[in-house]
Amino acid sequence: MSMETLAITVLWIFLYGYIIVASIDFGAGFFSFFSKITKRDHIVNGIIERYLSPVWEVTNVFLIFFMVGLIGFFPDTAYYYGTALLVPGSIFLVLQSLRGSFYAFAHYGARNSTAYLFVYGVTGLFIPASLSTILTISEGGYIEQTAGGEVILNMGKLLTSSYSWSVVALALVSVLYISASFLTFYADRAQDTAAVKLLRSFAIGWSLPTIFASFLVFLSIHRHNPEHFDKMMDVSWLFLLSFASFCGALALQLKRRNYGWAFVLVMLQFAFAFFGYGIAHLPYLLYPYVTITDSINSPAMGQALVIGLIAGLFLLIPSLILLLKLFLFDAKYVQGRPIQK
């Protein structure tokens, strides 16, 4: 495998990892807020807090890792996206800053305030929406380069495009669906029947909008970037597997059992679709200006980055497994009982 294919594959895996963990986090924020205003917060808050407390900072790093890696391996992306995304990127940063710092503040008394939960819940929906526009922009058609070489983002076109809105819709409903599926599983492990019941209803409720929005995006790519759509058809089997996983997850949830497997299937549903989309997107990182062959041109740096990447993964993967073992697969912790080892 060439260096750039390896790099984009690893980075894509990290982005996928971010989508899963961040969705759980963003959705949980929204559910906290929603349960509060419907006076059901006592049912789910314990579950949500026990899961999120030890992992919130890690979630953030997945994204930073993807961005730094992308710029490192493909410096041209920094130039194009950096210039074009000044405003949306800055808005994302402000939302992300509010949310991240609020999470830490919340441990010390702010959690019960509705205003706090409002900011926390609403940023959880705005952040995925603002991030998903970057994927939209990568399809091309929204960034223009003037004769003088200046890069300009056509905001008006972005805001009036049906494709960009269908991506935003997909991001929002997917966040809620992934999060509810995971939290149902987590509540089930904690043997918290009331929380399972509520979260399961959220999961099932958001499943159909998710699959509907997915089809919408699929079809609007056809209109917006036919070349990409044709390449997606070449790997259509991945999208079929994605749909099959979706059906499996929904069936398990309706039958009220194996919530763990249901969540695995949800993860697979998104994995197949996300990688299908990603494979078809190649070789473009920003259609039609940046392709993966515009990567770094110093072999020594490429080699050093790949070595760094592999060494880093050897450090990260065991650490992440340890984190999961301590907080996700430790029955006593999940149930909120004291532990002594």
Partner 1 sequence: MELDNTMLARILTSLTLGFHIIFAALGVGIPIIISIAEWLGIRKKDPMYTLMARRWVKGFTVTVAVGVVTGTCIGLQLSLLWPSFMKVAGEAIALPLFLETFAFFFEAIFLGIYLYTWDRFKNPYIHWLFSIPVVIGSTASAFFIMTVNAFMNAPQGFTLVDGSIVDVQPLAAMFNPATPTKAGHMILSSYATSAFVLAAIAAWKLLRGNGHEYHRKALNFTVALALLFSFGTALYGDFAGKYLAKYQPAKLAAAEWHFETKPQSPLILGGVLDPETMEVRNALKLPYALSILATGSPNGEVMGLDQIPRELWPPLFIHYLFDGMVAIGMYMLVVPILYFIWRRWKKGQVPRAILHAIFWGAPLAILAIELGWIFSEIGRQPWILVGYMKTQHAATTADNVGEMLVMFSLLYAFLAIVSSIVLKRMFKNKPVELELK
- Based on CB atoms, which residue is closest to partner 1, 95 or 252? 95
- Based on CB atoms, which residue is closest to partner 1, 2 or 101? 101
Neighbours of 310 (CB within 10 A): 11
Q: What are phi and psi of 5, to 5 degrees?
A: -70, -45
Shortest spacing between CB 255 and partner 1, in angstroms: 34
- Based on CB atoms, which residue is closest to partner 1, 134 or 241? 134
- Based on CB atoms, which residue is closest to partner 1, 38 or 340? 340
- Based on CB atoms, which residue is closest to partner 1, 16 or 259? 16
Using alpha carbons, select from 24, 6, 8 the residue that is nearest to residue 267: 24
Rounded CA separation 302/23 (Å): 32
Instruction: Judge if the upstream peptide bond of residue 88 is cis by omega within 30 degrees of 0.
Output: no
- Based on CB atoms, which residue is closest to partner 1, 100 or 141? 100
Rounded CA separation 315/14 (Å): 15
- Residue ranges of alpha helices (H) inside the chain are 3-37, 41-73, 75-84, 86-106, 114-138, 155-159, 162-189, 193-224, 226-234, 236-254, 259-281, 299-327, 331-335
Are 266 and 206 within 8 A, CB to CB?
no
Shortest spacing between CB 301 and partner 1, in angstroms: 4
b/e map 88-119, b = 16+ CB within 10 Å: beeebeebbebbeebbeebeeebbeeeebbeb
Shortest spacing between CB 308 and partner 1, in angstroms: 6
Shortest spacing between CB 122 and partner 1, in angstroms: 16
Shortest spacing between CB 299 and partner 1, in angstroms: 9
Q: Which amino acid is at 306?
A: V
- Based on CB atoms, which residue is closest to partner 1, 91 or 279? 91
Residues 6+ apart with CB under 8 A from 95: 123, 126, 127, 130
Residues 6+ apart with CB under 8 A from 19: 178, 270, 274
- Based on CB atoms, which residue is closest to partner 1, 38 or 109? 109
- Based on CB atoms, which residue is closest to partner 1, 134 or 279? 134
Shortest spacing between CB 89 and partner 1, in angstroms: 5
Shortest spacing between CB 95 and partner 1, in angstroms: 10
Instruction: Judge if the upstream peptide bond of residue 288 is cis by omega within 30 degrees of 0.
Output: yes
Kind and range of the H or E element at 284?
A: strand 284-286
Using alpha carbons, select from 24, 73, 76, 72 the residue that is nearest to residue 50: 24
Shortest spacing between CB 327 and partner 1, in angstroms: 7
Shortest spacing between CB 203 and partner 1, in angstroms: 26
Interhelix angle for 162-189 vs 3-37, to 10°? 70
